[in-house]
A and B are shown apart, each in its own frame.
Chain A
Amino acid sequence: MPSRRQPFFRTYVFSLDHKVIGIQYAITGLLFLLFGFSLMMVMRYQLAYPMTPVPFIGGLLSQANASGGILLPEFYNQLGAMHGTVMVFLGVVPLAIGGFGNYLIPLQIGAADMAFPKLNLMSYWVYAVGGLIMIATFFVPGGAAQSGWTSYPPLSVIASGGQTWWLVGMLFLITSSTLGSINFIVTIVQLRAPGLTWMRLPFFVWAQFAAAFLLLLAFPPLEAAGVLQLMDRVAGTSFFLPSGLVVAGQAVTSMSGTAEGTLASGGGNPLLWQHLFWFLAHPEVYVLILPAMGIVGEIIANNTRRPLWGYRGMVYSVGFLTFMSMVVWAHHMYITGMGTTLAAFFQTTTMIISVPSIVIITSLLMTLWGASIRFTTPMLFALAFLPMFGIGGLTGLPLGLAPSDIHLHDTYYVIGHFHYLVAPGTIFALFAGIYYWFPKATGRRMNDLLGRIHFWGSLVCMNVIFMPMFIQGLGGMNRRLYDGGLQFQHNADLLKWNVVIGIAAWTMGLFQVPFIINFFTSIRWGAPASANPWDATTLEWATTSPPPHHNFDTPPSVYRAAYEYSVPGAERDFSPQFEPERV
C-alpha cells in the first residue's frame, strides 16, 4: 500500500487518479451488473412458473408489486425495463469504458494520467448519482420505469412517475458519458508517449477511441429526445403524442394541434422518439462490443505469443464499423410502416456493417491458427468470446433483413440474438479482462481453479439460457409478456423452455459465486504478481504492479509495434514496446 499524505476521502473517494476512478467505475459497474442480473432471476421465476409465488423474494415484495408473492404485471414490466437499463447503461458501459478504459488507456499510451483528471472525477460521480436515481425509482409511488428500456411513447408518456426519474437519470448518465468520451479522445490524441505512433497503438486503445467517438456524437440526440419526453410528461406538450389519442376509452389528446380544455394538444409523432432513441441505441451496441473486441485482441495476442493477424485491417475495420454504426439505426423500426426506399437503405447498410465485424473476428481466428496457445483463465474467456460472438452476429442477419424481421421482431429470437453478443460476448470479454489485468491493478493473481469453475459453469449456462430463445422466437413467442407467453395458444409447446432457461439462469447465478469470492480474496491472499506476469508487450506492463500514482517512474518511450511476439532471431518470445533493445 503506497503511503499517502492525503486524507482518506481524497485518496479513495474523490481521487483524481485515473486508476482509482477506473476501479470505482469497475466495482460500481460490477455491482450494477449483479443487481440487473438479480432482477432477471426474479423475472425468470414468473416465466418458468407463471402465477406462482416467488420463493424468498416474493415474501419481501410489497403488495403493490406482488400480491401474495405473485409478481403483478406492472412490477414484471418494471423488472424488465430496469433489467435492460441497468445492464446496458449502469453495468456494461461503465465497466467496459469507465472501468477498463479509464484504468488502462493512460497506462497503455505511457501517460501519467488522463488529460483532464478533474473532469474524470466528475464523470464518475455524475454516473454514480444518475445510477442511484434510477434505482431509487423502485421505491416511488407507481414504481420504476416500466415501458421497456426503450421507453416508447405514448406508453412512456402516460406511465407512472418512475419514468420521469428514469429520464432524469438518463440525463445524468449522458452527461457523464459525454465528459468521459471527451477525456478519452483528448488523452489518446495528445498524451501518447514518444514513439507511439497511431499504428503502434494497442488494439484495445483503438477500440476505446472509436467507442468514445460513438458516445460523443450519438448520445446527444437521445439527450434531446429525453428532454422532449420530459416536456411531454411534465409540461403537457405533445412531442410524441399523436392527435386523437385515446387511452382506456378516454381521450388524451385533442383531434387537432391546439389544446382544448385539459387535453394535450396532439400533433406529435411517436416515431420521432423511436428515430432519436435508436440513433443512439444502435451505436450504443457497438459501444458495448468494441471494448470487448479490444480486450480479446490483447489477450489472444498475448496467449498465442503472436502478433495480431491483420492488425492494420482490424484498425481500418474498427473505423469503418464506427462510421457505419451511425447509419443503420432504423433496422430496429422495420415494422413501423416505413416506405420501401427507406427500408432498402437501412437493410443495405445493415448488411454492409456485418463485414468489418467479420474481418475482426477472422483476424483473431487467424491469430490462433498454428499458434502454441496458453490456456490461461483469461484466454478461456477470450476464446469462448469468438464462437459466442459468431452466433450472436449470424442470428442478426435475419433481423437485419426486413422480410424475415417482420416475423421475428419483438420475439424471443431478438432477445437470444442480442444476449449472445452482450452476455457470453461482451461480459465474457470483460471477465477475461478482469482476470488478465487484476495482477496489474492489485499486484496479486486471481485463483486459477476458481476461475476455471467460473468459466465452464458460465459458458454452459449461458448457452442453455439463450439458445432455446431462438426456438421460442421462431415459434412466435413474443417478448415482454409477463406470463411468459401463457396467454397465447401458439406458445403452448414453447413454454417448457422457460423452465429450462429459468433453471439455467439460477445456476449461472450460483456460478458467479466463485468469481466473487475469487475477486475479493485474491486482493488479500492471491499469489504475488510481478510487473509483467503474462510476459506481455504493451506499456502497462512496463511499470510495477500496482503502478505508482504517476504511473511511470521514468516516462517511457516506444520502440516498436504493439504485438512483437515470437520475432524470429530474438532470444525471448516477446519484445516489449518499451525496451530499446530487442533482447
Chain B
Amino acid sequence: MRTSADTAPDTRRHVATFALQLVLMLATVAVARLDLGVRLSTTAVMLLAAVNATVVAVALMGVRRDGPLVRMLVVLTLVVIIGLLVWPAWDTATRVRVF
C-alpha cells in the first residue's frame, strides 16, 4: 500500500511547478481580457508569459543545473535574440520611408 512516505519529494515539486504554470497561464488570459490598452496589455501579458516560460527553463529543463557551459550558451543566445527582436520595432519606428 502506498503511503505518503512513498511519495518522492520530486513529485511534490512537480505538482507545485505544474500548479504555478496553470495559474500563470490563467492569469495571462485574465489580464488580456482586462483591456488595459495596447502598450500596458502587451507588456503585462508578455511579461507573465515570459515568467511562465522561465519556469519551464529553470524547473523543467534544469538550465541552471547543467553547468556553466550551458548557462553561457543561454546568455549568448539571449543576447543575439535581443538584437533580432529589438531591431524590427526600432527600424519601423525610425524609418523615413513607410511601406
Interface residues of A (CB under 8 A from B): 189, 217, 221, 242-243, 268-272, 275, 279, 326-327, 330, 336-339, 341-342
Contacts and interface: CB of A to CB of B under 8 A. Distances in A.
A342 B91 contact: yes
A339 B95 contact: yes
B60 interface: no
B84 A221 contact: yes
A249 B90 CA distance: 34
Interface string B71-98: 0000011001001100110110011110
A224 to B, nearest CB: 10
B94 A326 contact: no
B80 A338 contact: no
Nearest to A272: B88
A242 B84 contact: no
Nearest to A342: B94
Contacts, number: 38
Interface residues of B, number: 15
B5 interface: no
Nearest to B96: A337
Given A217-B77, A271-B91, A339 B96 contact: yes
B69 interface: yes
Contacts of B90: 342
B83 A337 contact: no
Contacts of B91: 271, 275, 338-339, 342
Q: Which 7 A-B pairs have the closest CB atoms?
A: A339-B94, A337-B97, A242-B99, A337-B96, A269-B99, A341-B94, A217-B80
Given A189-B69, A342-B94, A275 B99 contact: no
Contacts of A339: 91, 94-96
13 contacts: A217-B77, A268-B99, A269-B99, A270-B99, A271-B91, A326-B83, A327-B83, A330-B87, A337-B95, A337-B96, A338-B94, A342-B87, A342-B90
B84 A279 contact: yes
B5 to A, nearest CB: 40
Contacts of B83: 326-327
Nearest to A327: B83
Contacts of A341: 94
Nearest to A346: B87
Residue with the highest number of chain A CB atoms closer than 10 Å, among B90, B97, B99: B99
A432 to B, nearest CB: 32
Contacts of A217: 76-77, 80
B94 to A, nearest CB: 3
A341 B87 CA distance: 12
Nearest to B93: A339
A475 B84 CA distance: 36
Most B CB within 10 A of own CB, among A268, A270, A337:
A337
A326 B99 contact: no
